[in-house]
């Protein structure tokens, strides 16, 4: 069990895509970003921007709502599947064909989706148990007491920072789940979770510090990029609908592409830095 070096992990992250740049781009940009973007535009996106009032009054909002969940799930599978495919491409050094890596990635994303449903259900149950006393009168159509509202607000104020810290710690412990699954070409998410839990035990606090540093840097960069896109879209007192669509597409690509590469590369870099003996064949 190795202890992580943040500098080494970042070095592995930046070099992960070397040698297979085209295949990584097809997976991460083509499958993970462009295809979901096309789906979102196809499901009413153009109609909303061109004539939002007509879209709403003609029942367009209801029609789009019927597809929103399905499209959202499909987009999640495509994006997460592109991550698994990219990990597979990098971890095999291009030995596995692109089509096989994409096929594996799209299937491997499904167990993660099911686990996400389970986690949301558990969190919803916990929230109901914790805040149920305050929510019960509202569910019965009654007005909760001011004391109950104040108590719930205070409890929420105290629990949110603890919940954030818990999720950050959990992310550090489970960050190698995807790379471990891809490395073994397994669809068993519990195999990845177990391997990640074992690998990160000795370096969990360094990984948390690494995530915090990256979070601060990404937040600053995202704010700058968002400002640039916003200024370019609304310079001169607004833009026409076509320009708005171009702006949305540009913003999606400008923000989405770096984030996709960052998520894949950072987790792969941590996995490599924690690999067998620190010099294993993970990226061979």
188 has pLDDT over 90: yes
257, two tokens: 């592409």
Determine which of 34-43, 66-75, 271-280 has the lowest per-residue pLDDT on average.
271-280
For the chain, which residues make up each domain, given as ranges? Answer: 6-135+164-278
227-279 pLDDT tens trace: 776 666 665 454 445 555 676 777 778 888 999 999 999 999 999 999 743 33
106-155 pLDDT tens trace: 999 999 999 988 988 988 887 777 666 656 555 566 666 666 666 667 77
- State the average pLDDT over residues 215-224: 87
């Amino acid at each position: 069990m190795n202890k992580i070096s943040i500098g080494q992990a970042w070095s592995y992250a930046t070099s992960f895509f070397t040698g297979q740049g085209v295949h990584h781009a097809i997976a991460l940009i083509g499958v993970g970003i462009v295809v979901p973007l096309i789906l979102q535009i196809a499901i009413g996106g153009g109609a909303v921007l061109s004539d939002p009032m007509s879209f709403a009054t003609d029942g367009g909002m209801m029609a789009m709502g019927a597809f929103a969940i399905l499209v959202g799930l499909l987009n999640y599978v495509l994006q997460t599947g592109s991550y698994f495919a990219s990990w597979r491409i990098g971890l095999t050094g291009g030995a596995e064909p692109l089509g096989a890596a994409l096929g594996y990635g799209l299937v491997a994303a499904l167990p993660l989706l099911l686990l996400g449903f389970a986690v949301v259900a558990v969190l919803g149950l916990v929230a109901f148990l914790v805040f149920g006393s305050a929510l019960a009168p509202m569910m019965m159509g009654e007005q909760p007491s001011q004391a109950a509202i104040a108590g719930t607000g205070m409890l929420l104020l105290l629990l949110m920072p603890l919940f954030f810290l818990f999720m950050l710690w959990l992310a550090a412990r489970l960050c190698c789940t995807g790379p471990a699954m891809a490395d073994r070409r397994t669809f068993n998410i519990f195999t990845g979770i177990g391997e990640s839990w074992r690998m990160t035990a000795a370096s969990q606090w360094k990984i948390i510090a690494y995530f915090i540093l990256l979070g601060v840097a990404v937040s600053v960069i995202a704010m700058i990029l968002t400002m640039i896109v916003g200024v370019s879209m609304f310079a001169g007192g607004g833009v026409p609908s076509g320009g708005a669509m171009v702006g949305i597409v540009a913003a999606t690509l400008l923000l989405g592409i770096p984030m996709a590469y960052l998520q894949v590369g950072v987790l792969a870099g941590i996995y490599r830095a924690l690999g067998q003996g620190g010099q294993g064949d993970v990226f061979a």
